[in-house]
Amino acid sequence: MGADISNLTIIETASDASVTSPSSTVAVTKPVPKRLGRSVSECLATIKGIQLRDSPRKHLEDCSVHTPTVCDVNRTPSKKDRVRQRWSERDEACFGTPIDSILDQDFDFEKNLALFNKQAVYDEINAQRPDIVRHADTSRRSQKYRHNENVIASVPAMYRQVVVPAPGLKEYVTDDGLVIPSIMPDLRHQLLSVAERMGLTEERQAELMGRAATEMALQLLGGGHRLNPHNVHQWPTVVALCGSNRQGAVAVNCARQLASHGVKTVVFLLDPTHLTTQLTHELALFRHTNNKLITTVQELPTVAVDLIVLALADELGSQLHKARYRAAAEWANENRAPVLALDPPPAGTPGVDTKFSLVPVLPLAHSLDNGKLYLCNLAFPQQVFKEVGIKYSSPFGPKFVIPLHPNDT
């Protein structure tokens, strides 16, 4: 039998079968897309095994192919592997839906826009506006007022709240459109006399008007931008030119109140030999401020000041013929500071360019030489106006001083 064997060849040995080829590869399965008709939970249940990936930071030449063994498959997944598996399941659930059929369809814009009827929505909005006449709708909700509407119906505004028996030649209007008539000097004198008889003495009237003049002066000086502790190197200076009259007493009162705000004040007396009782009382209070009180023009500041309070003449324009007055008026014009006149003559203060004028209660018929007019409230009771025949309703509102504009209409 052995004679019949002509060629003997070894096909395979046991040692050859146990040798693993170094060029063997490992098949890595990709996430299976979610099939149509299957829920997310079913897709998640189909994903099993541990997906390991090499770090992208390792060089390609240093990477070695790992062959999963029986121990790798059967071992308990680590925490890092479970996190990777959880993220892999989420990616498959989110991006596993096939979209080939969706990409082949064109989006119908006209059909989508037809779902929103813009005209019907606009009609519904306009129907709720209260300024459009419409039929009664009992099913509509309760009325809600807009920010520019009032719940209580207001009466028409009365623009002539002040009526005088003998008006002057001019009329003025406030910022709110209220008409303020001018009055004659005789009616002004009568009005102030009745108020004094009822208890509003000259001292009280001077205090109220001095307070209003102080408020105006502080604003003209710059207000909080100028008067603050960080700006002491530019502290303002105010000069009050005072005559021996009611206006002069108001100017001294204003200078005293400005001094209480830290403003440097200088009071000039036009006629120190003839002082009224009211002016004497105001000067006694002003001396306690330790500010400057002068009686000659030569003592006036030679440098520019910030504001001049003018009270040289009364409303009748008296004491304008004296040489001292002309010298004081020339100094005021040469100084070029803004001038605030207190109850000046209707025709203006001769020789002085006035920029602002403050008048009490009701104005006279002032000329343009008095600059811009402001009206201050002296808090006269209603009975004072009634006694002199004036129908009066306060035009001041929340303010103590209001601007007046010529009524050209």
pLDDT of residue 52: 42
Q: What percent of the chain has pLDDT over 70?
A: 73
Q: Which of 404, 35, 384, 406 is nearest to 188 (CA)?
A: 384
Residue 373 has which token pair?
């007019």
Q: In terms of pLDDT, which residue wins out, 50 or 284?
A: 284
Confidence of residue 156 (pLDDT cuts 50, 70, 90): low
pLDDT tens, residue by residue, 167-225: 888 999 999 989 999 999 999 999 999 999 999 999 999 999 999 999 999 999 988 88
pLDDT of residue 28: 54
Cα separation, 213 vs 258, whole angstroms: 9
Residue 28 has which token pair?
């890595």
pLDDT tens, residue by residue, 36-75: 555 555 555 555 444 444 444 444 444 444 555 555 556 7
14 has a pLDDT exceeding 80 = no
Cα separation, 253 vs 278, whole angstroms: 10
276 has a pLDDT exceeding 60 = yes
pLDDT of residue 7: 66
Task: Supply angle C-alpha 377, 383, 384, rounded to 5.
Answer: 55
Cα separation, 211 vs 223, whole angstroms: 15
Cα separation, 179 vs 408, whole angstroms: 11
How many CB atoms are located within 10 Å of the residue 78 CB?
10
Please name the residues in contact with 65: beta carbons below 8 A apart, sequence gap of 6 or more: 24, 25, 26
User: Which neighbouring-strand residues pair with 406?
Assistant: 172
23-29: long-range contacts, CB 8 A cutoff, minimum separation 24: 24/65, 24/67, 25/65, 26/65, 26/66, 26/67, 26/68
Confidence of residue 150 (pLDDT cuts 50, 70, 90): low
Q: Is the dihedral of CA 160, 164, 169, 170 positive or negative?
A: negative
Torsion-angle region of 215 (φ positive above 0: left; ψ -120 to 50: alpha; else: beta): alpha
Please give, one letter per residue, the 3-state secondary structure of the chain.
CHHHCCCCCCCCCHHHHHCCCCCCCCCCCCCCCCCCCCCHHHHHHHCCCCCCCCCCCCCHHHCCCCCCCHHHHHCCCCHHHHHHHHHHHHHHHHHCCCCHHHHCCCCCHHHHHHCCCHHHHHHHHHHCCCCCCCCCCCCCCCCCCCCCCCCCCCCCCCCCCCECCCEEEEEEECCCCCEEEEECHHHHHHHHHHHHHCCCCHHHHHHHHHHHHHHHHHHHCCHHHCCCHHHHHHCCEEEEEECCCHHHHHHHHHHHHHHHCCCEEEEEECCCCCCCHHHHHHHHHHHCCCCEEECCHHHCCCCCCCEEEEECCCCCCCCCCCHHHHHHHHHHHHHCCCEEEECCCCCCCCCCCCCEEEEECCCCCCCHHHCEEEEECCCCCHHHHHHCCCECCCCCCCCCEEEEEECCC
pLDDT of residue 92: 83
Residue 252 has which token pair?
């001294």
Q: In terms of pLDDT, which residue wins out, 98 or 59?
A: 98
The mean-pLDDT minimum among 135-144, 230-239, 267-276, 327-336 falls in 135-144
Once rounded to an integer, what is the mean pLDDT over residues 314-322?
68
* Domains assigned to the chain: 33-131 (no CATH), 167-226+234-406 (3.40.50.10260)
Once rounded to an integer, what is the mean pLDDT over residues 88-115?
78
User: Which neighbouring-strand residues pair with 372?
Assistant: 356
The mean-pLDDT minimum among 103-112, 140-149, 349-358 falls in 140-149
How many CB atoms are located within 10 Å of the residue 97 CB?
14
Burial state string for 102-125 with b = 16 or more CB within 10 A and e = fewer than 16: eeeeeeeeeeeeeeeeeeeeeeee
pLDDT tens, residue by residue, 245-268: 999 999 999 999 999 999 999 999
Cα separation, 194 vs 192, whole angstroms: 6
The pTM of the full predicted model, rounded to 2 decimals, is: 0.62
